[in-house]
Structure 1
Amino acid sequence: MPRFLFALLLISSALAAATVDEAILATKKWDNQLYRHQVKPVWLDEDHFWYRVQTGPKSEEYVLIDAQKGTRQASPTRQGIGLPPHESLKASESKEKIHPSGNGSATTIVFHNRLSQPVHMFWIDAKGKHHDYKALAPGKTFRQNTFEDHVWLVKDDKGQPLTVVSARAEPLEVEIDAASRALTEAAPPKPKAGEVKSPNGQWSASVEHGRLILKEESTGKTLPVMTGGEPHPPFQGGITWAPDSSSLVVSCAENWVKRRISLLYSSPSDQVEPRRKEIDYPKPGDPLPKPVPVIVRLTANGCESKVVKTDLFSNPFIQTDRLDIRWAPDSREFYFDYNQRGHQLYRIIGVDAFTAASRTVVEETSTTFIDHTQKTWRHWLPKSGELLWMSERDGWCHLWLYDSGTGKVKRQVTKGEWVLRKVLHVDEEKGQVWFMAAGLRKGEDPYHQHLCRIQVDGSGFRQLTEGDGLHEIVWSPNKKYFVDSWSRADLPPVTELRRSEDGGLVCGLEVADAKALLATGWQMPERFVAKGRDGQTDIHGIIIRPSSFDPAKKYPVVEQIYAGPHSAFVPKSFGTLARQHRMAELGFIVVQADGIGTNHRGKKFHDVCWKNLKDAGFPDRIAWIKAAAQSRPWMDLQRVGIYGGSAGGQSAMRALLDHHDFYQAAVADCGCHDNRMDKIWWNEQWLGWPVDDSYKKNSNVEDAGKLQGQLLLIVGEVDDNVDPATTFQVVNALQKAGKSFEFMPIIGAGHGAAETPFGTRLQMNFLVKHLHP
């Protein structure tokens, strides 16, 4: 190679690397540049609360709200709104237990050691790990800058826990005194592992080596458990006592062998030799446990037991050998869920506690799938003997009311061509249900969620929020008011106080200030809607431009894809969207859309994914991108790339298998390239059971020979989410097919390897190399 060409290549490579570094650094400029966007109310009583809000880089404001009068009083200090200089807490008053930290705004926590012995301060991180920070001598004070919801543990000099405290939004001072030590000393003894006491305290039950042990607490005497009918498999546990302590239910099941996969740590930090780790990892088609409930009743002569016949629940999809049991308040019946393998039949089973006869309380069927992880919510109404049940049986996610005694539908509670997203509260006294719903108003993004209320009898439906955006709700203590924060991808948060009775506005609280963020060059996302493959269905997405955007230029288009059917993924609330903007800073137009086959748009929209994961909404995405480019000449559709991880990695590669006439380059990170190799629950949910040809038809491994375009495959060496072997298998298939591609395993990385520092640069450089002229 001529020397001058080699020099040019070096310069080009250096420029690309510098551009990537600049794009990564740009995200730092966007941090903490949004103000007045978070309101976390601290209620003083039902009608008054205060909060602290960041108003600038080094300024804040304290705000007191009188909800009765609808007034807002603000001051730069706590004293200015009538609060003491700082919040104080006696450590002995803390009721918290040890748990991982959350994260919030910057704050301060101060500990005062009033004991005659030293104490030790530990910070508990987000993974629950304890970090030793400080040994605090008697009479001394420890001041620490921290963040809201960070958890701090205090131990005495013998290592015994004294108290656990979470940092608050405002500075908090904690007094550690003699009462704190009493918390540890007075702690009740721990029950024996696996031992479950009856509600009346007279009995305890446990399972040991497959045998049920019943023990009378007052005498320590144990009772033999006799089983009527046919012999049952070993007891596994899951003991649930009846409310009146007359009986219990325990699960029995045959032992089954779980599939295990091996992960190889090639370069462990503590030794030269590689280390192998095995993890449980059931895959589609693997055997599963079939737990059966056994009723054990206490009698005058001891106890007796009956095994429930499995006629109504013979083939469950369940990954544990223990059933989740719920008793009726009168102890005459108990209930459990039955999700038939294949996810096309779902029941709530009721069992008579005396006869062991079973019945169907609720039954759902589908010719495609039942979204059992998200749309089988229920709420029992014991006073009326009714059951609220979530269902998509009319094509939309709604609530239905059942007579729990007869198993008959009494009425449909909510209805319409919109979806219920989440139930927040059921007021049994007033017969009201409070919930979030989407798709209520024509012309508004169908993914925007609004707070609504309805009577259990189906009357009195009311939408209680107004703004065109995604709403997030925080109740007052007695739910008399709610704080409503709403935003859009292109609208910073607006926060208001509203009355729960009618949704009426009490007063505005904050309107987020994004001027500092926009001054960095950060570009507001553009929302765009176009018709999908059928020419009728609206597809919603966002378009993101680089900070150096010039409408006179033409930019390559890069799509960020995730099309997992379990949800929808285009951002609906406001945020800096650092990942997408970071990519745009390389001189790309970054787009993201939710195609048909994703969730939360009704059953017909969702069902397109059934046995058809390779579709991934591509016909809709491509139509949407082409429609956007018609009025945006700066979008160059001769240079289109795509990137994604996990299911998005599977789809990113699929773009070059089935749609290489549109996409030229793809980065597939940790992709589940063959659904036979991936985790059982996700894949049987959408591709069904038993494993059939649909798994093969959706496999990137099987279709590897169709590859055209530039492909980069990335995988984490020790990914415990998607078996990393599936990426190696697609590499093998590409090599056998004689295809050119790039492959990079990230050593020591888990799932999401492309988001590691090395993986991030690799991904960005690859798209720059193949999409920029």
Structure 2
Amino acid sequence: MKLLTTKNFGCALLACLGLHGSLLAQGTAEDYKRANDLPLKIGNKIYNNPGKVVWAEGNSKFIYWAQTKQGKTFVSADVSASAVKKQSAFDQQKLATQLAEKAGKTVKADSLPFSDFELSKNGDSLKFVAFEKRWNFHLGSATLFDKGKFDAAAGLRRYWGRGESETAGQKTKSPDGKWNAYIKNYNVYVYQEGREKEEKQLSFDGSPGEYYSARIMWSPDSKKLVSNKTRPNKDRTLYLLQSSPEDQLQPVLQTRNYLKPGDALPQNQPVLFVVEQQKAFPVPATMIPEQYGINQMAWRKDSRAFTFEYNQRGHQLYEVISMDAATGQSSVIIKEESKTFIDYSGKRYRSDVADGKEIIWASERDGWNHLYLYDGQTGKVKNQITKGNWLVRNVVHVDEAKKKIILAGSGKENGQDPYFIQYYSVNFDGTGFKALTTENGNHQATFSNDYSVFVDTYSRIDSPPVTVVRNAEGKVISEIEKADISELLAAGWRQPEVFQAKGRDGQTDIWGIIVRPMNFDPAKKYPVIEQIYAGPQSSFVPKTFSSDPSRLMQLAELGFIVVQIDGMGTSNRSKAFHDVCYQNLKDAGFPDRIAWMKTAAQKYPYMDLEKVGVYGTSAGGQSSAGAVLFHPEFYKVAVSSCGCHDNRMDKMWWNEQWMGYPIGPQYAASSNVDNAYRLQGKLMLIVGELDDNVDPASTFQVVNALIKAKKEHELIVVPGLGHSSGGEYGEHKRRDFFVKNLLGVNPPTWEGQKPVF
């Protein structure tokens, strides 16, 4: 046995440092400072990229703003058939001077304090909000008018679970003004204007347990009306304890109405009332059993019928139903069925043409989201409008006179990222399909009011934005801006890389991005961290140019490779790609994500797949925790924020959409609570005590299960915080957790605190 002398020990230590020194140089105080300073270093360094574009009513003029090297500049553009003439939209100095005087604030002409704005209907005034007030700036006279206080609270997020009262409401006047309809003693009553004492009772079967809705809908001819006969459900209350209110010492108990998967739902039965004859025609209950919802109720303009959409619970049957107002006969116009789920919350589209004589309808029945033309009278499909191995993302405009549609689609252009949005036009009968944009990039179009011209900005993560004006045929009239990123590059910014690899089946392309630190050294080894969000409602890897996509770069600066990937089970690809999530949210595309990272590491050996971390919020919080429960052989460290860890604990609408109804064993199989005993790696859980999006108890139940299973973990509860990633404090804790557990480095002592040792 060889003794380790002082000299030998020193040599061994140097050898160790030589082997691992490059890794130990990461996660330092210098790295933290560089990460914290990054937003100031690279922010506002993309010049000549239009912000909001607003068209004037006349269709030949629009105004936009762009950050330039001289500051924020507002530009007016006049469009002709062959050219675009640009000039200053207004005298910014005059606006700044008046705004400073009237608001009592410092205002600079090159950094006006607003980015969102509107034009008045005739286009002569710029309308904006600044310093908690509304303002109108008259463009002709360069005069600013104070339009009063802006109620910021009015624009706050409306709590998703708050419903409207079905029993309360004012009297509903008929379109001709001659009748009033209202609810009394749970039934429908009407009276002629001025003859209130001569009221007529139209329904007689209302009761506290099955009443008529106060949301009454008159026919356009004022001769008929519709009300839902409603059997209410029992509310579920979510309790939130605000531990540290600012206005008092003692905590405050808050409550929300918060339906969860499996809870009972209201059941509605539309009933048609013919006022003069006092006749009632209910839609047969057998046509609308086990409702998730009755929505989109509307009369035909000629009062011949009304329609509504019926979404059966479980989201495997969705119908458009019509009732003939003359006969009271109900019939199904459109019937959509699926063995998995109908993506009613993300891909539903319907446009009634010529007062319902035809209907344009979106469906994934052929495996891709496409448009179909229905005969609105017979319910028969006249023709499929779009088709092929690509999908319609959005319908921009339906021109009834020309029988033409403008739409946004993805995946049609060969050789491009299948998520890129391109614009197309097509006739109702499927002929005349035309690409309005084709450049290899993600396009964002803003159309004039008559859809004769549009502003198109396109870019990629690895290609800066270009902005052009096109005519209705897609021909470029003029390029108006080309982004300048020279200062961004001069600041040492390192461009993210778009990377694609085959998924679990060895055939499907999986797309993502790779972000490296600005001081990247290919000779070093870098742990890999994935930011994950696998919510099936959309796709999430950014496609448009950004100096810091998904805010991944600050984390990378600490000494990591950070990636973001769209695996199977997310949206905006084929129906089969999407269906992977069905009743199986624990899948989260992990087999595709792991295969993608392994392929990337083969190309880039500095990606250390022995040290992989993952983090996410909400559905991403469920998936990040699930990563170290279901795939501990690959993911070693996870930070989970406000996760919906058990889909039985989260809001009904989102979870039943993907996990199905009735509640079955698939819910437990995907539960991080039921599978907490599987934990092998390091896990930090972050939750806001006032999260009313995902019940905070879901996180605490994971903690309870981990404690029972004797699994080490960390929990951060942030007082006063709602649904979020943890705020600034949570972000700092997340960085420290990865630095400690992936880099093996003790994070720097927080500012204002002294080291213990």
TM-score, normalised on structure 1? 0.83
Per-residue CA distance 1:408-460 (angstroms, 9 max, x = gap): 11111110010000000000000001100000012100000111000001100
- 5 Å-filtered alignment, 1:213-612, equals 213-227=189-203, 233-299=210-276, 303-318=278-293, 323-382=295-354, 385-500=357-472, 502-575=473-546, 576-577=548-549, 579-612=551-584
Give the direction of change, closer, same or farther, for the CA distance of 1:461–1:535 in structure 2 (3 Å limit).
same
CA positional deviation for 1:552: 1.9
Partner of 1:769: 740
The letter for the 1-side match of 2:405 is: V
Contact 1:486 1:493 in 2 (8 A): yes
Query: Residue 62 of structure 1: CA displacement?
Result: 4.2
Residue 291 of structure 1 aligns to a residue in which SS? Answer: strand
1:251 match: secondary structure: strand
Q: Could you tell me which residue of structure 2 aligns to residue 703 of structure 1?
A: 675
SS at 1:613 equivalent: coil
| Rounded Cα–Cα distance in structure 1 between residues aligned with 2:255 and 2:589 | 35
The alpha carbon displacement at 1:149 in A equals 2.8
Distance 2:134 2:197 in 1: 39
Matches within 5 A, 1:68-83: 68-73=81-86, 78=88
CA distance in 1, matches of 2:467, 2:560: 33
Question: Counterpart of 1:677 in structure 2: which amino acid?
Answer: M
CA contact (8 A) 1:87 1:170 kept: no
Aligned residue in 1 for 2:3: none
Residue 15 of structure 1, CA deviation? 7.2
Query: Counterparts of 1:221 and 1:164 in 2: how far apart (Å)?
Result: 46
Q: One-letter code of the match for 2:143? A: E
Pair 1:664–1:731, CA change in 2 (3 A): same
Report the counterpart of residue 28 of structure 1 in structure 2.
Answer: 40
- Structure 2 residue matching 1:227: 3-state secondary structure: coil
Paired with 2:427 and 2:174, the residues of 1 have a C-alpha distance of: 37
Q: The residue matched to 2:216 in structure 1 has which SS? A: strand
Change (3 A) 1:49 1:682: closer
Write the distance in 2 (CA, Å) between the matches of 1:299 and 1:696: 55
1:457–1:279 distance in 2 versus 1, CA, 3 Å: same
Distance (whole Å) between structure 1 residues aligned to residue 40 and residue 92 of structure 2:
32
For residues 491 and 177 of structure 1, what CA distance do their matches in structure 2 show? Answer: 41
Match of 1:174 in 2: 144
Secondary structure (helix, strand or coil) at the match of 2:176 reads: coil
Aligned CA RMSD, in angstroms, stands at: 3.0
Q: Does 1:204 align with 2:204?
A: no
Shift of 1:176: 6.3
5+ residue gaps, structure 2, are 1-23, 120-132, 149-167, 745-757
C-alpha displacement at 1:217, in angstroms? 2.1
Secondary structure (helix, strand or coil) at the match of 2:332 reads strand
Quote how far apart the aligned CAs of 1:355 are: 3.3
Tell me which residue corresponds to 2:68: 55
What do the CA deviations read for 1:566-608 (whole angstroms, capped 9, x no partner)?
1100001112326211111111110011001110111110101
CA change 1:220–1:108 in 2 (3 A) is farther
For structure 1, which runs of at least 5 residues remain unmatched after alignment?
A: 1-11, 89-106, 114-120, 122-132, 136-142, 153-162, 179-191
Matched residue pairs, number?
682
**CA-to-aligned-CA distance 1:337-395 (integer Å, 9 cap, x gap):** 11100110000111122333211110011111100112221000126711111000001
Deviation at 1:476, TM superposition (A): 2.0
One-letter identity of the residue aligned with 2:276: T
Aligned CA distance change for structure 1 residues 111 and 637 (closer, same or farther; 3 Å): closer
With 380-389 and 604-613 compared, the bigger mean Cα shift is at 380-389
Task: Return the alpha-carbon distance in structure 2 between the equivalents of residues 145 and 41 of structure 1.
Answer: 17
Shift of 1:315: 1.2
> Helix, strand or coil for the counterpart of 2:41?
helix
Find the aligned partners of 2:289 and 2:224 in 1 and give their Cα distance: 24
CA distance in 2, matches of 1:112, 1:637: 55
Structure 2: distance between partners of 1:224 and 1:695: 50
For residues 613-633 of structure 1, what are the alpha-carbon distances to aligned partners after superposition, in whole Å with 9 as ceiling and x for unaligned? 000000000100111111112
Q: Secondary structure at the match of 1:263?
A: strand
For 1:177 and 1:747, how far apart are their aligned partners in 2?
A: 38
* 2:356–2:376 CA contact under 8 A, matched in 1: no
What CA deviation, in whole Å up to 9, does each residue of 1:223-249 have, x standing for no partner? 222337898921122211111111111
* Per-residue deviation, 1:724: 0.3
Q: CA deviation at 1:167?
A: 7.2
Contact 1:27 1:578 in 2 (8 A): no
Q: Is the 8 A contact 1:233 1:253 kept in 2?
A: yes
Moved more, 645-654 or 251-260: 251-260
Shift of 1:760: 0.6
Distance in structure 1 (CA, Å) of the matches to 2:486 and 2:111: 31
Question: Secondary structure in 2 aligned to 1:759?
Answer: helix
1:507 & 1:736 partners in 2: Cα distance? 66
User: For residues 244 and 729 of structure 1, do their structure 2 counterparts lie closer, same or farther at Cα, with a shift above 3 Å needed?
Assistant: same
The corresponding residue for 1:147 is 114
Percent identity between the aligned chains?
43
CA distance in structure 2 between the aligned counterparts of 1:718 and 1:175, rounded to whole angstroms? 40
Aligned to 1:157: none
CA distance in 2, matches of 1:542, 1:169: 44
Q: 1:220 to 1:657 in 2, by over 3 A?
A: same
Question: Quick one: distance in 1 between partners of 2:27 and 2:202?
Answer: 78
Contact kept in structure 1, 2:180 and 2:193, CA below 8 Å? yes
Superposition pairs of residues 669-684 of structure 1, within 5 angstroms: 669-684=641-656
